[in-house]
């Protein structure tokens, strides 16, 4: 499927020279800081030696779940491997005086500190924005929160499930299929969407600092981020005061908006313009549907009758194979794609051509696949320069860079070389 790839030796990313102290764990923060690391930032992942729910083994909890290959290090689970490359791991007990002092020494060398530890706990540790700013006045302090600090939910624990429930995301499937039972979207959507907001926040704050020399406190609240994401289209007629209609964009919650069955599989299909719909019905052998049916022959009419239109599509797509539809529709520039099952992704010809699944050899986990950074920069490309780290693997290295003596490094409990 793909040839073995070697780590990049040169960092040319747009964030080269930026150092980020990463106190995040699980998915929200770790996903964000990996993207920043791919873009060239030096990401120092600070992990705690005390248990965090990962089977009593400490560090980021996502190190531990999953089925590892025989002989692989137990702290390199599959989700951790997927969202923690381009980072260095430092093992510090921030509840100890030595651990806190060591973190502050590292912070003195940094541009950004990112944390999803609850802010009350950060204050208790003596690591609030004010504490950090005292040793690094121009620091950008990014707090990944569950809820904004101005609201009544401030400080409450938050996980993906809770934010999907609170943001309206868990209401969407029921509005599509008529089943009133709320359901979560089966991906860690809230964490990943919030992580993308966090990347945006960090890069914008770095741009501000570049222009003004000023650091700042940045709050990235999950509930607000995900609710804004959900409502980008589903606010719909509730935008107006008074409302002119209900919630949700009907085309998206249409139960017949789905991949359409062919003779041998499924396709994603979306004719959009008047011309594309006319051409689709022509090649499907039903030209009169577009020309003669007033429900479908204009954009406005199609929007008003979208459910009936989508229901009709599958009656037509079932008459040909997937390859036949692709051959007919692609030359007409009608948006169409073969539907991939998850099992198909590694063999998708486009993903293969762009090298999306790169196979690497990890010294402590063996062969593994890393997903290519999807965004392309022509002058400052993202890159994969480091394997996901073992727990505490670069502790001594980073502390030396921060100016600590060998005696000070040796005094810190639980460090690993």
- In this predicted structure, the answer to whether residue 12 has a pLDDT above a threshold of 70 is yes
pLDDT tens, 346-400? 999 999 999 999 999 999 999 999 999 999 999 999 999 999 999 999 999 999 9
Query: What does the DSSP 8-state code read for residue 109?
Result: T
At 251, is the pLDDT very low, low, confident or very high (cuts 50, 70, 90)? Answer: confident
Distance from the Cα of residue 256 to its chain's centroid? 28
CATH of the domain at 385: 3.40.50.10540
Q: Do 327 and 353 sit in the same domain of this protein?
A: no
Task: Mark whether 35 and 126 lie in a shared domain.
Answer: yes
Say whether both 324 and 403 belong to one domain. no
In a shared domain, residues 334 and 379: no
Give yes or no for a contact between 382 and 375, defined as CB atoms under 8 angstroms apart: yes
- Residue 333 lies in domain: 260-338
Domain end position, chosen among 309, 338, 367:
338
175-203 burial code (b ≥16 CB/10 A, e <16): bbeeeeeeeeeeebbbbbbbbebbbebbb
Q: Say which CATH number the domain at 300 has.
A: 3.30.1540.10
pLDDT, tens only, 178-217: 999 999 999 999 999 999 999 999 999 999 999 999 999 9
Contact yes or no for 59/39 (Cβ under 8 A)? no
Distance between CA atoms of residues 161 and 185, nearest Å: 9
Quickly count: other Cβ atoms within 10 Å of residue 353's Cβ: 8
Please report whether residue 245 resides in a domain: no
CB 8 within 8 A of CB 385: yes
What pLDDT score was predicted for residue 415? 46
Helical residues (DSSP H) of 84-188, grouped into ranges = 97-107, 119-124, 129-135, 160-167, 172-177
Same domain, 78 and 187: yes
| One domain for residues 95 and 202 | yes
DSSP state of 388: P
Q: How many domains does the chain have?
A: 2
Question: Which DSSP category does 4 fall into?
Answer: B
Which of 312, 338, 364 delimits the end of a domain?
338
Q: Are both 92 and 163 inside the same structural domain?
A: yes
Q: Is residue 249 part of a domain?
A: no
User: Up-side HSE of residue 305: CA atoms within 13 Å toward CB?
Assistant: 15
Evaluate the omega torsion of the peptide bond into residue 262 and state whether it is cis, within 30 degrees of 0: no
For residues 386 and 401, what is the distance between their CA atoms, to the nearest angstrom?
Answer: 18
Q: State the Cα angle at 83 between 259 and 129, rounded to 5°.
A: 120
Query: First and final CA of the chain: distance in angstroms?
Result: 35
Residues in the chain: 417
């Amino acid at each position: 499927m793909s040839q073995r790839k070697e780590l990049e030796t040169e960092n040319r990313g747009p964030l080269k020279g930026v150092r980020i102290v990463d106190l995040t764990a699980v998915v929200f923060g770790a996903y964000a800081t990996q993207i920043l690391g791919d873009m060239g930032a030096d990401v120092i992942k600070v992990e705690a030696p005390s248990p965090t729910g990962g089977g009593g083994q400490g560090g980021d909890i996502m190190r531990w779940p999953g089925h590892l290959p025989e002989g692989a290090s137990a702290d390199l689970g599959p989700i951790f491997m997927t969202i923690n490359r381009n980072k260095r791991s430092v093992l510090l007990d921030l509840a100890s005086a030595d651990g806190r002092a060591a973190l502050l020494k590292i912070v003195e060398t940094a541009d950004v500190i990112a944390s999803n530890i609850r802010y009350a706990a950060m204050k208790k540790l003596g690591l609030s924005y004010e504490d950090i700013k005292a040793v690094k006045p121009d620091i950008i302090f990014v707090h990944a929160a569950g809820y904004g600090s101005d609201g009544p939910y401030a400080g409450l624990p938050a996980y993906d499930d809770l934010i999907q429930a609170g943001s309206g995301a868990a209401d969407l499937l029921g509005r599509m299929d008529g089943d009133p039972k709320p359901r979560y979207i089966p991906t860690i959507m809230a964490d990943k969407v919030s992580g993308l907001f966090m990347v945006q926040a960090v890069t914008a704050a770095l741009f501000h600092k570049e222009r003004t020399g000023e650091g700042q406190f940045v709050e990235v609240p999950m509930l607000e981020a995900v609710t804004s994401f959900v409502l980008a289209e589903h606010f719909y007629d509730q935008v107006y005061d008074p409302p002119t209609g209900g919630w949700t964009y009907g085309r998206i919650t249409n139960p017949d908006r789905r991949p359409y069955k062919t003779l041998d599989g499924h396709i994603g299909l979306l004719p959009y313009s008047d011309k594309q719909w006319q051409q689709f019905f022509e090649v499907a052998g039903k030209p009169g549907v577009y020309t003669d049916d007033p429900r479908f022959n204009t954009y406005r009419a199609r929007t008003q009758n979208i459910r009936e239109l989508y229901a009709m599509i599958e009656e037509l797509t079932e008459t040909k194979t997937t390859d036949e539809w692709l051959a007919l529709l692609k030359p007409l520039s009608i948006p169409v794609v073969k539907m991939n099952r998850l099992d198909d992704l590694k063999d998708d010809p486009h993903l293969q051509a762009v090298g999306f699944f790169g196979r690497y050899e990890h010294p402590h986990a063996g062969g593994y696949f890393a997903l290519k950074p999807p965004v392309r920069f022509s002058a400052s490309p993202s890159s994969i320069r480091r394997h996901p780290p073992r727990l505490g693997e670069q502790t001594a290295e980073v502390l030396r860079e921060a100016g600590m003596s060998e005696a000070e490094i040796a005094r810190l409990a639980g460090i690993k070389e």
